[in-house]
Amino acid sequence: MPTLHLRHLPGALALCLAGVLAHGAAAADVSQRFYDAALCQPPYTTASATALYEAAEKLAKPDMSMLTAAVYALPKPIGRDGFDSNEVIFAGSSVGVLVQGEQADALAARYKLQRESSTLLGTSTKGYSRALPDAQQPLPDAGTVSIVARESRGLPGKTLLACEFVSNADRDALKAYEKSVNP
């Protein structure tokens, strides 16, 4: 399955965000954008994800111990609706935050997410998602952008809240695999 590498994607929004940073925007303001992005505000695009990735690179060095993800510690905690985070995460074609505590059920209730039938090849112990409305899908012929909340044994005491783009090809491959192992 192909993986999108954000650091290799050019984006006009990266220049805009760099300009904002250069003009003295507070780190807390920039950091709050990570939480907004996890809620797909604005909806995921490679340009917006690249801009956020480049902003994260200016705030901290990534923890790459998760192999397929880059986790950045934020200088100050961020949050909304009673959920707090101090880490932003980039994984494949997703951008999100790691919410403190096992909060998938509460995040699902707050953001109207539905239970996922897939465990993502066993990596998710509890997962919820909601696709954005058709009008907010940036590339509907290529894939789907969704808000997700997932718990995992690999993230003890944390819950991933992310805006995720899944290509149609990746979604179909996952469905075919899960069908083959669970007929």
Q: Would you state the pLDDT for residue 123?
A: 67
The DSSP bridge pattern shows strands 114-115 and 126-131 to be: antiparallel
Within 8 A by CB and 6+ apart from 39, the residues are: 80, 111, 147, 161, 163
Question: 149: buried, middle or exposed (CB in 10 Å: 19+, 13-18, 0-12)?
Answer: buried
Work out the mean pLDDT of the chain and round it to a whole number. 81
What is the mean pLDDT of the segment spanning 126-133? 95
Largest CA distance in the chain: 57
For residue 161, name the pLDDT band (cuts at 50, 70, 90).
very high
Q: What is the mean pLDDT of residues 121-134?
A: 84
Report whether pLDDT(23) > 50: no
Least confident of 24-33, 81-90, 169-178: 24-33
- What share of the chain has pLDDT > 90, as a percent? 51
pTM metric for this prediction: 0.80
Euclidean distance between CA atoms 17 and 141, whole angstroms:
28
- Which run of H or E residues covers position 47? helix 46-59
pLDDT confidence of residue 119: 56
